[in-house]
Structure 1
Amino acid sequence: MYPQPLIAVVDVEKTSQWYQTILGLDSGHGGKEYEQLMFEKRMVLQLHQWQAHEHTHLGCPELPIGNGVLLWFESAQFDELVERLRTHQVEVLEGPQYNANAHHREVWFKDPNGYTLVVASTYGDI
């Protein structure tokens, strides 16, 4: 079993472009209402437009976005990601820093919708 998180967003196409630019993901579906974001031909994240398809369990866009949920990724290209965050002036919440408990580096930031992301380097990369 593999996780395939889905987040609800206002603008699927804009959000998809942001994830492609910042995380280096690829579009696997594309569209105004739904997107599958891929890494090495494997889906790692789904985007869904809040009002599309009348899904009643997506949540409520008026409530705080992502409270208690973090989108956590591991990347072997950690330094390149940090550079893209700087280049695109993404507000970093924490890091980059070494997490001695997890034996990796990590950086915390928000996507344009308000979801918190963490990208960690591979285990023991330092």
Structure 2
Amino acid sequence: MKIAPLIVVQDVEKASSFYQAVLGLRSGHGGKEYEMLMYQDKLVLQLHKPDVHEHPAMWQANMSNGNGVILWFSCDNFEQTLINIRQSAAVIVADPHINPNANQHEIWFKDQDGYLIVVSQPVVKSA
């Protein structure tokens, strides 16, 4: 089984640009209403504009964006990702730190639609 979260965003193109710049994802679809974001030819995130297309179940929940969802990404280059995040419009919620329970570097931030995002990378133990 694979997971490919779909999140509702107000501006698909703006959100796509944000995730591409910050996380190094690439567009796999493009458009104003729907986007597929890829990493190494694998679908990792979908973006969808509200109230377009015929997906009535998607709109019945009437929940605010980001409510209860944390998008968690593991990366290979934490330092470069930090630079990308700081150069973006992201709102940092928790500064870069080492989570001692998970033994990993983490930064927590929000995108322009209010989704909470965590980027992490395992701490490399020195020999």
Q: Would you say the 8 A contact 2:20–2:27 is kept in 1? A: yes
In the alignment, structure 1 residue 124 sits paired with structure 2 residue 123 = yes
1:21-61 per-residue CA deviation (whole Å, 9 max, x = no partner) reads 11110000111111000001101000011011131222469
In the alignment, structure 1 residue 54 sits paired with structure 2 residue 42 = no
Match runs of 1:62-77 below 5 Å: 63-77=63-77
Structure 2 gaps, min length 5: none
Compute the displacement of 1:2 (Å). 1.1
Task: State how far apart, in whole Å, the 2-side matches of 1:37 and 1:82 are.
Answer: 20
Measured at CA, do residues 61 and 77 of structure 1 come closer, stay the same or move farther in structure 2, by a change above 3 Å?
A: farther
Match runs of 1:1-126 below 5 Å: 1-59=1-59, 63-121=63-121, 123-125=122-124
Other structure's SS at 2:17 match = helix
Task: State how far apart, in whole Å, the 1-side matches of 2:60 and 2:11 are.
Answer: 15
One-letter amino acid of the counterpart of residue 47, structure 1: L
1:46-100 per-residue CA deviation (whole Å, 9 max, x = no partner) reads 0011011131222469643222110000001111011111223532100210011
Q: Would you say the 8 A contact 2:89–2:112 is kept in 1? A: no
Task: State how far apart, in whole Å, the 2-side matches of 1:14 and 1:87 are.
Answer: 15
**What RMSD in Å do the two structures reach over aligned CA positions?**
1.7
TM-score by length of 1: 0.90
**Corresponding residue pairs, total:** 125
Identical aligned residues as a percent: 45
One-letter amino acid of the counterpart of residue 116, structure 1: L
